[in-house]
Chains A and B, each alone.
Chain A
Amino acid sequence: MFSTVKELIDICNTENKPIWQVMLEAEMEVSGRSEDQILEQMNRNLDIMEEAVNRGIHEDIKSHSGLTGGDAKKIRKYMEENRFLSGFTILDAVSKAVATNEVNSAMGTIVATPTAGSCGIVPGTLFAVAPKLNASRDQMVHFLFTAGAMGYIIANNAFISGATGGCQAEVGSATAMAASAIVEMAGGTPEQSADALSIAMKNLLGLVCDPIAGLVEVPCVKRNAMGAAIAMVAADMALAGIKSVIPADEVILAMYRIGCSMPNTLKETALGGLAATPTGRALETKIFGRPSE
């Protein structure tokens, strides 16, 4: 099994295999399960992701607190009116990321990728890039193995939850995972996947976890939207041949060290950042009757 991005890329190059295949074979070895069983489980995850995306862009979703819901539909309507500036595929990814996160905030069923707070970015970009590239269902499943391989390395060398490493660990990991998987689906090399990971993660370093009232809603949903957009642009930059000056494994360790030196008030405790703004505190009082501090 690989434990760093460098090891993973070396295996890909030596054995002439894409990242998804290395991850799949490692999973077979670790779990002792057959290729069919593992692919079936990942297909099931893909089904659940598709259901959440569809719910979010078609249904009227509203969270219990009333803080979030309905924004994915707004983006779809805006796209239909053909007024958008940033590009169809990016907005497609953004709307589908928001859709997934709105379903999550409303206690709907989602797949944690790598966590629930960051569950929009991987499926959001996947369900935008796959139609753009005419990807098959199998390729969509492969996308999840590639994203999973990168997430596996990040989780074991740093962290993936806001409570332990801030939002850079949560939305940052998901964005980096998505960026590298987009590159592979678009035909990039394993090195380009690693560059996309680095470019994406570097731009989310230091991001604090400061949810209003401690809910996985504000700013989480919009951070998933931006994570999807960053993943798309990072993938395009890597595919254009742009290298990351700092290698992927060093970016991941930088993320880890930043997370360790972040105060607890900025790690999902709702004690700092946006949660501690006057409006954040007022919303908290409105929802729970009292602020947490």
Chain B
Amino acid sequence: MKYQSVFDIIGPIMIGPSSSHTAGAARIGRLSRTLFGKEPVKAVITFYGSFAKTFKGHGTDVAIIGGILGFDTFDNRIVDSFAIAKDLGMEIEIKVSEEEVDHPNTARIKLFNHQYSFEVVGISIGGGKVEVVEVNGFKVRLTGEYPTLLVLHEDRFGMISAVSNTLSRFEINIGHMEVSRKARGKQSLMIIETDQIPSDDIKEEIERIPYVLNVSFISP
């Protein structure tokens, strides 16, 4: 079932005018910021499909930047997000692509700080619901509705046990886990759905494991 809650249908409370293009875009932006886990200094946003055709009219650009700034769907500051980003010194680039995509409402967000960049592809599936379908080139399926830990790491021996040992020491139970890699010995991504919400201490501890490149966490 794509829609699980009555509040997916009666909701969200949001700034108009479009739940797919405004609320959904804000949520994709906010998820990308959470996954990045750092303060971005630059954001490059590419719109595809219907997003590419109509983003200006729906304020999709305004909403997605609002989300990258950490605003929720009902936050009035979304309307002024361009000005707020500028005041914070965040550089913003908006692109449109003619490329065929699987879903009509697709956005690719690349976030940068001074050392690091991170790329997320999100789709807005209607009524304000979204999915992240790609993280740094890895195919994923994240809705942001369950506590989820993402660990980007180099593909080495013992990585899974190092991470799962840390979680077990802090009494965090794993509900579902996926590991994917681009090629043997290259970068890998662990996606771990947890029953308990991991604290910042746990995140920091996992970050200290050798060959771990980035740890981020999304909570519902």
Q: Of A104, A111, A122, which contacts B12 at CB under 8 A? A: A111
Complex A-B: 26 CB contacts under 8 Å? A23-B6, A26-B6, A27-B5, A30-B5, A63-B17, A105-B16, A107-B22, A108-B15, A109-B76, A111-B13, A112-B14, A113-B9, A114-B126, A115-B126, A117-B17, A119-B16, A148-B10, A152-B8, A155-B3, A156-B1, A156-B3, A161-B125, A163-B50, A211-B57, A214-B54, A268-B104
Q: Do A112 and B2 form a contact, CB below 8 Å, given A45-B10, A107-B59, A107-B79?
A: no
Q: By the criterion CB–CB under 8 Å, are B4 and A116 in contact? A: no
Q: Evaluate contact between B54 and A109: CB separation under 8 angstroms.
A: no
How many A-B contacts if CB must be within 8 Å? 172
Whether A147 is near chain B, meaning CB under 8 Å from some CB there, is: yes
Q: How large is the interface on B (under 10, 10 to 19, 20 to 34, 35 or more residues)?
A: 35 or more
Given known pairs A116-B18, A214-B53, the reply for A144 and B5 (CB within 8 Å) is no
In the complex, what residue of chain B is closest to A123 when comparing beta carbons? B10
Most buried by A among B6, B14, B74: B6
On A, residues with C-beta under 8 Å from B are 1, 3, 23-24, 26-27, 30-31, 38, 41-42, 44-45, 48, 63, 65, 103-117, 119, 122, 144-145, 147-149, 151-152, 155-156, 159-164, 177, 211, 213-217, 264, 267-271, 287-288, 292
Chain B residue contacts of A268, Cβ below 8 A: 50, 54, 104
A213 touches B13 (CB 8 A): no
Within 8 A of A (CB), among B53-79: 53-54, 56-59, 74, 76, 79
Q: Which residues of A contact B104 (CB under 8 A)?
A: 163-164, 264, 267-269
CB distance from A275 to the nearest CB of B (A): 10
Which residues of chain B are within 8 angstroms of A292 by Cβ–Cβ distance?
53-54
Contacts of A23 in B (CB 8 A): 6
A151 touching B17, Cβ below 8 Å: no
Residues of A within 8 Å of B2, CB to CB, are 155-156
State the CA gap A227–B163 with chains docked (Å): 53
Most chain A CB neighbours (cut-off 10 Å) among B2, B50, B125: B50
Q: Are B6 and A163 in contact (CB under 8 A)?
A: no
* Interface hits, B1-46 → A, CB 8 Å: 1-23
Name the 9 nearest CB pairs between A and B, nearest first.
A214-B54, A161-B126, A104-B16, A151-B9, A216-B17, A148-B6, A215-B57, A214-B57, A112-B19
Q: Which of A44, A214, A269 has the most CB of B within 10 A?
A: A214
Q: Which of A116, A155, A177 contacts B8 (CB 8 A)?
A: A155
Chain B contacts for A115, CB-based, 8 A = 18-20, 126-128
Assembled-state Cα–Cα distance A162/B18 (Å): 10
Q: Roughly how many angstroms separate A152 CA and B127 CA in the complex, as a whole number?
A: 11
